[in-house]
Protein backbone atom coordinates (compact mmCIF):
# COMPACT_ATOMS: atom_id res chain seq x y z
CA UNK A 1 0.00 0.00 0.00
CA UNK A 2 1.41 3.43 -0.92
CA UNK A 3 0.43 6.79 0.56
CA UNK A 4 -2.31 7.30 -2.04
CA UNK A 5 -3.90 3.93 -1.22
CA UNK A 6 -3.55 4.55 2.51
CA UNK A 7 -5.32 7.91 2.39
CA UNK A 8 -7.93 6.57 -0.06
CA UNK A 9 -8.76 3.37 1.82
CA UNK A 10 -8.40 4.51 5.42
CA UNK A 11 -9.55 8.12 5.20
CA UNK A 12 -11.52 8.08 1.95
CA UNK A 13 -9.54 11.08 0.67
CA UNK A 14 -7.30 11.47 -2.36
CA UNK A 15 -3.68 11.89 -1.22
CA UNK A 16 -3.51 15.04 -3.37
CA UNK A 17 -6.48 16.63 -1.57
CA UNK A 18 -6.03 19.49 0.96
CA UNK A 19 -6.92 17.25 3.93
CA UNK A 20 -3.99 14.94 3.19
CA UNK A 21 -1.74 17.95 2.60
CA UNK A 22 -2.69 19.54 5.93
CA UNK A 23 -2.11 16.27 7.78
CA UNK A 24 1.36 16.08 6.21
CA UNK A 25 1.88 19.71 7.20
CA UNK A 26 1.15 18.85 10.84
CA UNK A 27 3.88 16.22 10.73
CA UNK A 28 6.34 18.68 9.16
CA UNK A 29 5.42 21.44 11.61
CA UNK A 30 5.88 19.20 14.65
CA UNK A 31 9.21 17.93 13.41
CA UNK A 32 10.57 21.39 12.67
CA UNK A 33 9.52 22.73 16.09
CA UNK A 34 10.86 19.80 18.14
CA UNK A 35 13.98 19.32 16.05
CA UNK A 36 13.49 15.62 15.27
CA UNK A 37 14.95 13.68 12.37
CA UNK A 38 11.92 11.82 11.13
CA UNK A 39 8.18 12.26 11.47
CA UNK A 40 5.23 10.19 10.35
CA UNK A 41 1.47 9.97 10.19
CA UNK A 42 -0.02 6.53 10.72
CA UNK A 43 -3.69 5.77 10.12
CA UNK A 44 -5.60 3.05 11.94
CA UNK A 45 -6.72 0.14 9.81
CA UNK A 46 -9.42 -1.35 12.06
CA UNK A 47 -9.88 -4.41 9.86
CA UNK A 48 -6.25 -5.45 10.42
CA UNK A 49 -5.89 -3.90 13.90
CA UNK A 50 -2.78 -2.15 12.66
CA UNK A 51 -1.44 1.33 12.00
CA UNK A 52 -0.41 2.08 8.42
CA UNK A 53 2.26 4.67 7.54
CA UNK A 54 0.43 7.17 5.30
CA UNK A 55 2.96 10.01 5.31
CA UNK A 56 6.59 10.14 6.36
CA UNK A 57 8.87 13.17 6.57
CA UNK A 58 12.61 12.58 6.77
CA UNK A 59 15.16 10.04 5.70
CA UNK A 60 13.15 6.82 5.36
CA UNK A 61 10.04 8.22 3.66
CA UNK A 62 9.84 5.97 0.64
CA UNK A 63 10.56 2.76 2.56
CA UNK A 64 8.01 3.20 5.33
CA UNK A 65 4.90 4.44 3.50
CA UNK A 66 2.34 1.67 3.27
CA UNK A 67 3.99 -0.49 5.93
CA UNK A 68 1.91 -1.65 8.90
CA UNK A 69 2.63 -1.62 12.61
CA UNK A 70 0.50 -3.90 14.82
CA UNK A 71 -1.52 -1.96 17.41
CA UNK A 72 -0.41 -4.56 19.94
CA UNK A 73 3.21 -3.44 19.98
CA UNK A 74 5.55 -0.49 20.12
CA UNK A 75 5.17 3.08 21.22
CA UNK A 76 2.74 3.96 18.42
CA UNK A 77 0.55 1.03 19.42
CA UNK A 78 0.69 2.11 23.06
CA UNK A 79 -0.38 5.64 22.09
CA UNK A 80 -3.30 4.20 20.12
CA UNK A 81 -4.40 1.87 22.92
CA UNK A 82 -4.04 4.36 25.79
CA UNK A 83 -5.21 7.47 23.92
CA UNK A 84 -2.26 9.29 25.47
CA UNK A 85 0.86 10.88 24.03
CA UNK A 86 3.81 8.56 24.66
CA UNK A 87 7.39 9.74 25.01
CA UNK A 88 9.95 6.98 24.56
CA UNK A 89 13.67 6.61 25.08
CA UNK A 90 16.19 3.91 24.16
CA UNK A 91 16.86 0.92 26.37
CA UNK A 92 20.19 0.60 28.12
CA UNK A 93 21.82 -2.45 29.62
CA UNK A 94 22.25 -2.34 33.38
CA UNK A 95 25.92 -1.41 32.82
CA UNK A 96 24.87 1.72 30.92
CA UNK A 97 25.74 0.73 27.34
CA UNK A 98 23.13 1.26 24.64
CA UNK A 99 21.43 -1.98 23.60
CA UNK A 100 21.42 -1.00 19.93
CA UNK A 101 23.47 1.88 18.59
CA UNK A 102 21.18 2.40 15.60
CA UNK A 103 17.89 2.64 17.46
CA UNK A 104 16.02 5.95 17.91
CA UNK A 105 17.19 7.99 20.86
CA UNK A 106 13.88 9.68 21.53
CA UNK A 107 10.37 9.06 20.17
CA UNK A 108 7.03 10.84 20.52
CA UNK A 109 3.78 9.15 19.49
CA UNK A 110 0.56 11.19 19.75
CA UNK A 111 -2.85 9.58 19.13
CA UNK A 112 -5.45 11.33 16.99
CA UNK A 113 -8.62 10.85 19.05
CA UNK A 114 -12.01 11.21 17.40
CA UNK A 115 -15.01 10.77 19.72
CA UNK A 116 -12.75 8.85 22.14
CA UNK A 117 -11.59 6.49 19.38
CA UNK A 118 -8.07 6.56 17.98
CA UNK A 119 -7.99 7.08 14.21
CA UNK A 120 -4.25 7.46 13.81
CA UNK A 121 -0.96 8.48 15.38
CA UNK A 122 1.51 11.28 14.66
CA UNK A 123 5.13 10.53 15.55
CA UNK A 124 8.51 12.23 15.77
CA UNK A 125 11.84 10.41 16.04
CA UNK A 126 15.33 11.66 16.90
CA UNK A 127 18.48 9.62 16.25
CA UNK A 128 20.97 12.07 17.74
CA UNK A 129 22.29 10.59 21.01
CA UNK A 130 22.16 13.98 22.72
CA UNK A 131 18.57 14.68 21.70
CA UNK A 132 15.69 14.20 24.16
CA UNK A 133 12.15 15.32 23.50
CA UNK A 134 10.57 17.14 26.45
CA UNK A 135 7.14 17.56 28.04
CA UNK A 136 6.76 20.78 26.03
CA UNK A 137 7.08 18.66 22.88
CA UNK A 138 4.52 16.24 24.32
CA UNK A 139 2.04 19.13 24.75
CA UNK A 140 2.74 20.33 21.20
CA UNK A 141 2.13 16.88 19.73
CA UNK A 142 -1.05 16.45 21.79
CA UNK A 143 -2.33 19.64 20.16
CA UNK A 144 -1.19 18.70 16.65
CA UNK A 145 -2.83 15.29 16.98
CA UNK A 146 -6.06 16.90 18.16
CA UNK A 147 -6.09 19.21 15.14
CA UNK A 148 -5.46 16.19 12.91
CA UNK A 149 -8.35 14.31 14.51
CA UNK A 150 -10.75 17.24 14.03
CA UNK A 151 -9.72 17.41 10.38
CA UNK A 152 -10.35 13.70 9.88
CA UNK A 153 -13.71 13.99 11.66
CA UNK A 154 -14.83 16.78 9.35
CA UNK A 155 -13.64 14.84 6.33
CA UNK A 156 -15.68 11.82 7.41
CA UNK A 157 -18.78 13.93 8.01
CA UNK A 158 -18.33 15.51 4.59
CA UNK A 159 -17.91 12.09 2.97
CA UNK A 160 -21.22 10.94 4.48
CA UNK A 161 -22.97 14.06 3.18
CA UNK A 162 -21.47 13.72 -0.29
CA UNK A 163 -22.53 10.10 -0.68
CA UNK A 164 -26.07 10.53 0.67
CA UNK A 165 -28.94 10.96 -1.81
CA UNK A 166 -31.01 14.21 -1.73
CA UNK A 167 -34.03 12.50 -0.18
CA UNK A 168 -31.96 11.12 2.71
CA UNK A 169 -30.25 14.48 3.19
CA UNK A 170 -33.61 16.26 3.31
CA UNK A 171 -34.94 13.77 5.87
CA UNK A 172 -31.80 14.15 8.00
CA UNK A 173 -32.12 17.93 7.90
CA UNK A 174 -35.77 17.70 8.89
CA UNK A 175 -34.95 15.45 11.88
CA UNK A 176 -32.14 17.79 12.99
CA UNK A 177 -34.44 20.82 12.75
CA UNK A 178 -37.18 19.10 14.77
CA UNK A 179 -34.70 18.17 17.50
CA UNK A 180 -33.27 21.68 17.50
CA UNK A 181 -36.75 23.26 17.87
CA UNK A 182 -37.80 20.85 20.57
CA UNK A 183 -34.64 21.27 22.65
CA UNK A 184 -34.69 25.07 22.43
CA UNK A 185 -38.42 25.40 23.23
CA UNK A 186 -38.67 22.55 25.74
CA UNK A 187 -35.23 22.26 27.36
CA UNK A 188 -36.73 20.37 30.31
CA UNK A 189 -37.51 17.50 27.92
CA UNK A 190 -33.96 17.04 26.58
CA UNK A 191 -33.24 14.09 28.89
CA UNK A 192 -36.41 12.21 27.94
CA UNK A 193 -35.83 13.02 24.25
CA UNK A 194 -32.30 11.61 24.47
CA UNK A 195 -33.62 8.47 26.16
CA UNK A 196 -36.33 8.11 23.51
CA UNK A 197 -33.79 8.47 20.67
CA UNK A 198 -31.48 5.92 22.30
CA UNK A 199 -34.38 3.49 22.64
CA UNK A 200 -35.35 4.10 19.02
CA UNK A 201 -31.77 3.56 17.91
CA UNK A 202 -31.52 0.32 19.90
CA UNK A 203 -34.80 -0.86 18.42
CA UNK A 204 -33.75 -0.02 14.85
CA UNK A 205 -30.17 -1.30 15.08
CA UNK A 206 -30.88 -4.17 17.44
CA UNK A 207 -30.49 -6.87 14.80
CA UNK A 208 -27.38 -5.30 13.31
CA UNK A 209 -25.45 -5.09 16.61
CA UNK B 1 4.18 8.45 71.35
CA UNK B 2 0.99 6.87 72.74
CA UNK B 3 -0.63 3.83 71.15
CA UNK B 4 -3.99 5.59 71.60
CA UNK B 5 -2.86 8.56 69.57
CA UNK B 6 -4.67 8.80 66.22
CA UNK B 7 -2.78 7.16 63.36
CA UNK B 8 -2.81 10.35 61.34
CA UNK B 9 -1.03 12.33 64.05
CA UNK B 10 1.61 9.61 64.40
CA UNK B 11 2.08 9.44 60.63
CA UNK B 12 2.48 13.20 60.40
CA UNK B 13 5.70 12.91 62.43
CA UNK B 14 7.35 10.55 59.92
CA UNK B 15 8.79 11.92 56.70
CA UNK B 16 8.13 9.46 53.86
CA UNK B 17 11.79 9.07 52.85
CA UNK B 18 12.68 7.93 56.38
CA UNK B 19 9.91 5.33 56.31
CA UNK B 20 11.53 3.59 53.32
CA UNK B 21 14.40 2.59 55.61
CA UNK B 22 12.19 1.47 58.51
CA UNK B 23 10.63 -1.98 59.12
CA UNK B 24 7.28 -1.96 57.36
CA UNK B 25 4.29 -4.25 56.95
CA UNK B 26 3.89 -5.56 53.40
CA UNK B 27 1.27 -3.68 51.35
CA UNK B 28 -0.35 -5.01 48.17
CA UNK B 29 -0.26 -2.55 45.28
CA UNK B 30 -2.25 -3.43 42.16
CA UNK B 31 -0.84 -2.06 38.90
CA UNK B 32 -3.50 -1.78 36.18
CA UNK B 33 -1.40 -1.36 33.07
CA UNK B 34 0.19 -3.16 30.12
CA UNK B 35 1.49 -5.99 32.32
CA UNK B 36 4.77 -6.35 34.23
CA UNK B 37 7.99 -8.10 33.31
CA UNK B 38 8.32 -10.15 36.49
CA UNK B 39 11.56 -11.69 35.20
CA UNK B 40 13.35 -8.32 35.12
CA UNK B 41 16.29 -8.11 37.53
CA UNK B 42 14.80 -5.11 39.32
CA UNK B 43 11.40 -6.76 39.76
CA UNK B 44 12.29 -10.38 40.45
CA UNK B 45 10.34 -11.58 43.48
CA UNK B 46 8.37 -8.34 43.77
CA UNK B 47 5.37 -9.38 41.65
CA UNK B 48 3.30 -11.66 43.87
CA UNK B 49 0.27 -12.18 41.62
CA UNK B 50 -0.40 -11.61 37.94
CA UNK B 51 -3.63 -11.52 35.94
CA UNK B 52 -4.59 -10.54 32.43
CA UNK B 53 -7.97 -9.20 31.28
CA UNK B 54 -9.42 -11.39 28.55
CA UNK B 55 -12.75 -11.30 26.80
CA UNK B 56 -14.71 -14.49 27.51
CA UNK B 57 -18.28 -15.01 26.31
CA UNK B 58 -18.60 -11.30 25.58
CA UNK B 59 -17.36 -10.04 28.93
CA UNK B 60 -13.97 -9.17 30.37
CA UNK B 61 -12.61 -11.50 33.04
CA UNK B 62 -9.26 -11.67 34.86
CA UNK B 63 -7.24 -14.80 34.14
CA UNK B 64 -4.15 -15.71 36.19
CA UNK B 65 -0.73 -15.58 34.54
CA UNK B 66 2.80 -16.36 35.75
CA UNK B 67 4.00 -13.47 37.96
CA UNK B 68 7.66 -14.43 37.33
CA UNK B 69 7.30 -14.15 33.55
CA UNK B 70 7.41 -11.18 31.20
CA UNK B 71 3.72 -10.27 30.78
CA UNK B 72 4.34 -6.81 29.31
CA UNK B 73 3.95 -6.25 25.55
CA UNK B 74 4.58 -2.49 25.64
CA UNK B 75 6.97 -1.83 28.53
CA UNK B 76 4.69 0.79 30.14
CA UNK B 77 3.58 -1.33 33.10
CA UNK B 78 7.10 -2.58 33.77
CA UNK B 79 8.35 1.01 33.92
CA UNK B 80 5.56 1.98 36.33
CA UNK B 81 6.15 -1.12 38.50
CA UNK B 82 9.90 -0.47 38.72
CA UNK B 83 9.32 3.01 40.18
CA UNK B 84 6.98 1.53 42.77
CA UNK B 85 9.39 -1.28 43.62
CA UNK B 86 12.29 1.13 44.03
CA UNK B 87 10.51 3.67 46.24
CA UNK B 88 8.43 1.31 48.37
CA UNK B 89 10.47 -1.74 49.46
CA UNK B 90 7.41 -3.15 51.25
CA UNK B 91 5.17 -3.04 48.14
CA UNK B 92 3.91 -6.43 46.98
CA UNK B 93 3.02 -5.85 43.36
CA UNK B 94 -0.06 -7.34 41.74
CA UNK B 95 0.07 -7.21 37.95
CA UNK B 96 -3.36 -6.58 36.37
CA UNK B 97 -2.90 -6.36 32.60
CA UNK B 98 -5.59 -4.25 30.93
CA UNK B 99 -3.82 -3.02 27.81
CA UNK B 100 -3.98 -5.89 25.40
CA UNK B 101 -3.18 -6.71 21.82
CA UNK B 102 -6.28 -5.14 20.39
CA UNK B 103 -7.45 -1.59 20.91
CA UNK B 104 -11.06 -2.73 21.16
CA UNK B 105 -12.34 -3.92 24.51
CA UNK B 106 -9.90 -2.02 26.71
CA UNK B 107 -12.70 -0.10 28.44
CA UNK B 108 -14.31 -3.35 29.52
CA UNK B 109 -10.90 -4.65 30.58
CA UNK B 110 -10.19 -1.58 32.70
CA UNK B 111 -13.53 -1.78 34.49
CA UNK B 112 -13.19 -5.54 35.04
CA UNK B 113 -9.66 -5.16 36.44
CA UNK B 114 -10.62 -2.32 38.78
CA UNK B 115 -13.62 -4.30 40.02
CA UNK B 116 -11.33 -7.29 40.59
CA UNK B 117 -8.79 -5.16 42.49
CA UNK B 118 -11.54 -3.81 44.74
CA UNK B 119 -13.02 -7.25 45.38
CA UNK B 120 -9.58 -8.61 46.23
CA UNK B 121 -9.11 -5.71 48.68
CA UNK B 122 -5.69 -4.70 47.35
CA UNK B 123 -4.61 -1.80 49.57
CA UNK B 124 -3.37 0.55 46.84
CA UNK B 125 -4.49 0.57 43.21
CA UNK B 126 -2.29 2.37 40.69
CA UNK B 127 -3.80 3.43 37.36
CA UNK B 128 -1.28 5.06 35.06
CA UNK B 129 -3.99 5.02 32.41
CA UNK B 130 -6.80 7.49 31.80
CA UNK B 131 -10.13 6.39 30.44
CA UNK B 132 -12.66 8.44 28.50
CA UNK B 133 -15.70 10.15 30.02
CA UNK B 134 -18.00 7.40 28.76
CA UNK B 135 -16.61 5.28 31.60
CA UNK B 136 -17.10 8.05 34.18
CA UNK B 137 -20.18 6.53 35.80
CA UNK B 138 -18.82 2.98 36.04
CA UNK B 139 -15.49 4.17 37.42
CA UNK B 140 -17.20 6.59 39.81
CA UNK B 141 -19.20 3.78 41.43
CA UNK B 142 -16.15 1.53 41.71
CA UNK B 143 -13.90 4.24 43.14
CA UNK B 144 -16.56 5.20 45.71
CA UNK B 145 -16.67 1.56 46.78
CA UNK B 146 -12.87 1.43 47.05
CA UNK B 147 -12.88 4.63 49.13
CA UNK B 148 -15.48 3.26 51.56
CA UNK B 149 -13.54 -0.02 51.89
CA UNK B 150 -10.39 1.92 52.76
CA UNK B 151 -8.53 1.22 49.51
CA UNK B 152 -6.50 4.04 47.99
CA UNK B 153 -6.86 4.51 44.22
CA UNK B 154 -4.09 6.55 42.59
CA UNK B 155 -4.74 7.73 39.03
CA UNK B 156 -2.65 9.61 36.48
CA UNK B 157 -4.13 12.49 34.52
CA UNK B 158 -4.06 12.33 30.73
CA UNK B 159 -1.92 14.49 28.50
CA UNK B 160 -4.33 15.04 25.60
CA UNK B 161 -6.17 18.40 25.41
CA UNK B 162 -9.70 17.05 25.75
CA UNK B 163 -12.67 18.31 27.77
CA UNK B 164 -11.65 16.47 30.95
CA UNK B 165 -8.48 15.25 32.65
CA UNK B 166 -9.33 11.60 32.13
CA UNK B 167 -11.04 9.06 34.40
CA UNK B 168 -10.76 8.07 37.16
CA UNK B 169 -8.32 10.99 37.76
CA UNK B 170 -11.28 13.43 37.60
CA UNK B 171 -12.96 11.78 40.59
CA UNK B 172 -12.50 13.21 44.08
CA UNK B 173 -12.49 9.76 45.69
CA UNK B 174 -9.12 9.01 44.04
CA UNK B 175 -5.67 10.55 44.47
CA UNK B 176 -5.09 12.24 41.10
CA UNK B 177 -1.55 12.85 39.88
CA UNK B 178 0.17 14.95 37.21
CA UNK B 179 3.88 15.09 36.46
CA UNK B 180 6.27 17.89 37.27
CA UNK B 181 9.91 18.38 36.32
CA UNK B 182 11.51 17.88 39.73
CA UNK B 183 14.21 15.41 40.73
CA UNK B 184 13.49 14.74 44.43
CA UNK B 185 12.37 11.11 44.65
CA UNK B 186 9.65 11.35 47.30
CA UNK B 187 8.57 14.96 46.69
CA UNK B 188 4.95 15.79 45.89
CA UNK B 189 3.41 19.06 44.80
CA UNK B 190 -0.07 20.07 45.92
CA UNK B 191 -2.38 22.06 43.62
CA UNK B 192 -5.25 23.43 45.63
CA UNK B 193 -7.07 25.10 42.74
CA UNK B 194 -6.80 22.26 40.25
CA UNK B 195 -8.91 19.08 39.88
CA UNK B 196 -5.68 17.09 39.64
CA UNK B 197 -4.57 17.70 43.21
CA UNK B 198 -1.05 16.29 43.27
CA UNK B 199 2.04 16.18 41.06
CA UNK B 200 5.25 14.19 41.41
CA UNK B 201 8.48 13.73 39.49
CA UNK B 202 7.65 12.60 35.96
CA UNK B 203 10.44 13.74 33.66
CA UNK B 204 13.30 11.50 32.55
CA UNK B 205 12.74 8.95 35.29
CA UNK B 206 15.04 5.92 35.14
CA UNK B 207 12.88 2.82 34.78
CA UNK B 208 13.11 -0.89 34.05
CA UNK B 209 12.62 -1.82 30.40
CA UNK B 210 10.50 -4.89 29.62
CA UNK B 211 12.79 -7.63 28.38
CA UNK B 212 15.74 -6.36 30.43
CA UNK B 213 17.84 -3.25 30.83
CA UNK B 214 16.88 0.27 31.69
CA UNK B 215 15.27 3.21 29.99
CA UNK B 216 13.99 6.65 30.86
CA UNK B 217 10.33 7.63 30.93
CA UNK B 218 8.44 10.91 31.00
CA UNK B 219 4.82 11.75 31.79
CA UNK B 220 2.08 11.58 34.41
CA UNK B 221 2.05 7.77 34.04
CA UNK B 222 5.42 7.71 35.76
CA UNK B 223 4.52 10.28 38.41
CA UNK B 224 1.54 8.26 39.71
CA UNK B 225 3.70 5.35 41.00
CA UNK B 226 5.68 7.77 43.20
CA UNK B 227 2.44 8.69 44.94
CA UNK B 228 1.36 5.03 45.11
CA UNK B 229 4.73 4.23 46.68
CA UNK B 230 4.18 6.92 49.32
CA UNK B 231 0.77 5.38 50.08
CA UNK B 232 2.41 1.95 50.46
CA UNK B 233 5.05 3.35 52.84
CA UNK B 234 2.48 5.07 55.06
CA UNK B 235 0.18 2.04 55.06
CA UNK B 236 3.16 -0.20 55.85
CA UNK B 237 4.14 1.94 58.81
CA UNK B 238 0.63 2.80 59.98
CA UNK B 239 -1.76 0.05 58.85
CA UNK B 240 -5.35 1.20 58.96
CA UNK B 241 -4.90 4.68 57.54
CA UNK B 242 -7.99 5.63 55.49
CA UNK B 243 -7.84 7.20 52.02
CA UNK B 244 -8.77 10.66 53.33
CA UNK B 245 -5.91 10.41 55.81
CA UNK B 246 -3.53 9.44 53.01
CA UNK B 247 -4.65 12.55 51.12
CA UNK B 248 -4.09 14.63 54.25
CA UNK B 249 -0.58 13.22 54.62
CA UNK B 250 0.21 13.93 50.99
CA UNK B 251 -0.94 17.51 51.45
CA UNK B 252 0.94 17.89 54.74
CA UNK B 253 4.25 16.81 53.20
CA UNK B 254 3.66 18.44 49.80
CA UNK B 255 5.12 21.61 48.41
CA UNK B 256 2.68 24.16 47.03
CA UNK B 257 2.97 24.14 43.26
CA UNK B 258 3.48 27.82 42.39
CA UNK B 259 1.84 27.42 39.01
CA UNK B 260 -1.43 26.35 40.62
CA UNK B 261 -1.28 28.34 43.84
CA UNK B 262 -4.33 30.51 44.65
CA UNK B 263 -2.13 33.57 44.86
CA UNK B 264 -1.47 33.27 41.15
CA UNK B 265 -4.91 32.18 39.99
CA UNK B 266 -6.26 35.70 39.64
CA UNK B 267 -3.44 36.77 37.33
A98 shares its domain with A192 = no
| Nearest chain B Cα distance for residue A123, angstroms | 15
Domain count for chain A = 2
A→B interface, C-beta within 8 Å: 44, 49, 70-75, 77-78, 80-94, 99, 110-111, 113, 116, 118, 132, 134-135, 138-139, 142-143, 145-146
A20 shares its domain with A99 = yes
Nearest-CB residue to B130 (from A84, A90, A134) = A84
B58: region left, alpha or beta (phi > 0 left; psi from -120 to 50 alpha): left
Domain that holds residue B210: 20-265
Q: Verify whether the Cβ–Cβ distance B160 to A93 is below 8 Å.
A: no
Residue B78 lies in a domain: yes
A109 shares its domain with A59 = yes
Residue B4 lies in a domain: no
Q: Return the beta strands (E) in A101-176 as ranges.
A: 106-114, 117-126
A147 shares its domain with A197 = no
Q: Is A61 or B263 the better-scoring residue by pLDDT?
A: A61
Query: What is chain B's mean pLDDT, rounded?
Result: 90
- Domain at B212, CATH number: 3.40.50.200
A68 shares its domain with A153 = yes
A70 shares its domain with A94 = yes
Domain count for chain B = 1
The last residue of a domain, from among A127, A145, A161: A161
Angstrom distance (rounded) from CA B56 to CA B53? 9
Determine the pLDDT at residue B111: 94
Structural contact between residues B245 and B12, judged by C-beta atoms closer than 8 angstroms: no
A201 shares its domain with A110 = no
Q: Verify whether the Cβ–Cβ distance B159 to A77 is below 8 Å.
A: no
| Nearest chain B Cα distance for residue A71, angstroms | 6
Secondary structure tally for chain B: helices H, strands E: 8, 12
Closest CA to A145 of A121, A126, A125, A115: A121
- Give tens-digit pLDDT for A127-180: 887 788 888 999 999 999 999 999 988 888 887 777 778 888 788 888 888 888
Percent of chain B beyond pLDDT 90? 70
A154 shares its domain with A183 = no
Residue A135 with chain B: CB contacts under 8 Å: 179, 181, 202-203, 218-219
- Give tens-digit pLDDT for A80-97: 988 899 998 877 755 444
Q: Verify whether the Cβ–Cβ distance A94 to B221 is below 8 Å.
A: no
Residue A72 with chain B: CB contacts under 8 Å: 73, 100-102
- Is the pLDDT score of B79 beyond 70? yes
Q: Verify whether the Cβ–Cβ distance A71 to B209 is below 8 Å.
A: no
A15 shares its domain with A54 = yes
Nearest-CB residue to B160 (from A75, A84, A92) = A84
A184 shares its domain with A148 = no
A105 shares its domain with A154 = yes
Q: Is the peptide bond before A100 cis (omega within 30 degrees of 0)?
A: no
Nearest-CB residue to A82 (from B75, B99, B204) = B99
Q: What ipTM is given for this predicted complex?
A: 0.81
A102 shares its domain with A69 = yes
Angstrom distance (rounded) from CA B22 to CA B1? 17
Residue B15 lies in a domain: no
Query: Confidence band (pLDDT; 50, 70, 90) for B31?
Result: very high
The last residue of a domain, from among A141, A161, A181: A161
Residue B3 lies in a domain: no
Mutation target vs A (from B97, B218, B222; most A CBs, 10 A cutoff): B218
Total residues belonging to chain B: 267
Query: Confidence band (pLDDT; 50, 70, 90) for B107?
Result: confident
Domain that holds residue A44: 3-161
Closest CA to B121 of B45, B32, B30: B30
Q: Verify whether the Cβ–Cβ distance A78 to B34 is below 8 Å.
A: yes
- Domain at A51, CATH number: 3.30.450.40
Query: What is chain A's mean pLDDT, rounded?
Result: 82
Amino acid sequence: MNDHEAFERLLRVDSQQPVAAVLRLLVELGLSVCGGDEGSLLLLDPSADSLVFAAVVGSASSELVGQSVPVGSGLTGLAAVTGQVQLGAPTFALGGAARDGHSPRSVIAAPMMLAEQCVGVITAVAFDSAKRFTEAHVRLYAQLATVGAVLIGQQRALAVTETADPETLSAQRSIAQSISRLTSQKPEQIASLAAMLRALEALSLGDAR
Amino acid sequence: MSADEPLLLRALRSAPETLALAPLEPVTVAVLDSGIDGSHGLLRGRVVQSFSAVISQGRAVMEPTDPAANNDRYGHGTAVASILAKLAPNAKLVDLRVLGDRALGTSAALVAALKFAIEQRFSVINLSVAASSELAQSLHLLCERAYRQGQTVVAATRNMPLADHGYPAELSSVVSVDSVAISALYAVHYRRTHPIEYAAAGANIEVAAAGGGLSTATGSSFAAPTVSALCALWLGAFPGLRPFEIKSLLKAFALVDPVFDDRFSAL
